[in-house]
Structure 1
């Protein structure tokens, strides 16, 4: 599609430092839009419910950003450890993140932050579930523009073809638009969470519902993903992301009924 959204000419006296143009990349642009939207939602909800200061919200997002980068790169390393041991610089590029790595590193970061700041953990996790959907939705749009997380070759009516050499997807090849599948799935999950929010039966329900819904949807979308370099747990049968999805779904299901049943026994 369009990995470079637009370019801004640099004044002549600054060309020696920055070149002729300042480039706005699509992926980064949509990530920023998602982050701003996510911060705004957390600020609104946490201020309304828990009177959380904006400074603490900024601190939370900074910690989550660090955890997401570390986690995304850590899981990327374990997909091809031999390669990255020989090419460690490949981990330092702006490309290549594993969403599940980011997610699983941010969860304990949130738990520690909430407990340290004496915030109710489960209600805050419910807020973060919707926030994650918002940020992730824009992130997948950025993926579509950049060509990463692309699908397998497909000549169907909804196939997409990348022609820009700057894209990360194979060029001039019709493919499943898996990034848009993911964005659509996340949008549906967001709507479902907003409906659940109005009829919430226990704290933590939104967060655990998000984990189960995303894990189930991600397992299906993986079938159409074409970036096979991520590897398989069982060759050509279960990918790393599908395996992690199974574990996440089962863990979330366990805690869902555990918390739900605990609430019943205490009411």
Structure 2
């Protein structure tokens, strides 16, 4: 697809910049109108226009910077930025209903995202670095990090592991929530749909970047994705050309990234529906987050069978599948424990 958004530069970039500026002004006007109409109780339109305004401003700034510097935009990073803006807006909107202060939640979001990126990159360096074309010397894990530590900050060609980001982000959130004495279960439930949505956008970025690819597939399969779908510099093209000696013109693969993105967005819709429809009926706070962990670990476990960018070890399973089994069991244990421990919703 498009690891770099080159169309944001040149004459096309100026056209995009003009339209982005106009759209930003329109959404800002609508945002101001709704803010005046709902000064006390904010309407849904107010939050919708707020998110759209922030997104349009971000698009304007990105395009402007691209035009001035001449640098192309990393599509994966852009998807993460969009997910962050929408996710934070949704999080703060739902937090107001529960009277949870916005400041600590913003701290969790900002620092949590930064530490999640560190964790995702660290897991990649430890477990999967040798399977990606990130330089002339491919190093064996878990020694890649120690032999070439500067590669840790070079994510221009990809290299993030979702579970590593989850573990680092969740660990930080647990410590921060404990220190700030926030309601752990309620905060966890707020983050559940947001995290699922983040997976959807991140995997969309994977599709654009050409990483996290699928196994070879026959061309007549209804889900077959042509390798020509990706740009020449995409890691998937380099992998099949160099390591499997397969011509991109006749190679078809599973659309693993697209399936993973749909999985994230579907989980987001399911969790958001459960939250708004059944939130008052939860037996204990934190239930929705445990549901998210269970659903994601199962779906990720299944999707791993059609991926071809990671090595398989014991029993033909990948590291992500073993982590998924562990996460699923922990979620089940916590759910059973809380059901037996709590007879009524916590306050």
TM-score (norm 2): 0.69
From 240, 262, 266, the equivalent of 1:184 is 262
Q: Contact 2:198–2:264 (CA<8 Å) still a contact in 1? A: no
Q: Contact 1:7–1:21 (CA<8 Å) still a contact in 2? A: no
Deviation at 1:163, TM superposition (A): 4.1
Cα separation, 1, equivalents of 2:87 and 2:235:
27
Cα separation, 1, equivalents of 2:69 and 2:323:
44
Deviation at 1:22, TM superposition (A): 3.0
From 132, 142, 159, the equivalent of 1:81 is 142
Structure 1 position 67 matched with structure 2 position 115: yes
Corresponding residue of 1:38: 87
Corresponding residue of 2:192: 129
Corresponding residue of 2:176: 113
Cα separation, 2, equivalents of 1:121 and 1:50:
14
Cα separation, 2, equivalents of 1:74 and 1:138:
21
Corresponding residue of 1:91: 152
Residue correspondence of structure 1 range 203-242 to structure 2 within 5 A: 203-228=285-310, 231-234=311-314, 237-242=316-321
Q: Which runs of 5+ in 1 are unaligned?
A: 12-17
Q: Contact 1:37–1:135 (CA<8 Å) still a contact in 2? A: no
Corresponding residue of 1:193: 271
Cα separation, 1, equivalents of 2:201 and 2:9:
23
Q: Secondary structure at the match of 1:101?
A: helix
Deviations 1:43-92 (A, max 9, x none): 11112312413x43332222102220221122223211123332323222
Cα separation, 1, equivalents of 2:338 and 2:69:
57
Cα separation, 2, equivalents of 1:84 and 1:70:
13
Deviation at 1:4, TM superposition (A): 2.1
Q: Secondary structure at the match of 1:151?
A: coil
Cα separation, 2, equivalents of 1:120 and 1:111:
11
Structure 1 position 256 matched with structure 2 position 335: yes
Deviation at 1:209, TM superposition (A): 0.5
Structure 1 position 165 matched with structure 2 position 193: no
Q: Secondary structure at the match of 1:170?
A: helix
Give the direction of change, closer, same or farther, for the CA distance of 1:36–1:72 in structure 2 (3 Å limit): same
Corresponding residue of 1:151: 214
Deviation at 1:29, TM superposition (A): 1.4
Corresponding residue of 1:246: 325
Q: Secondary structure at the match of 1:169?
A: helix
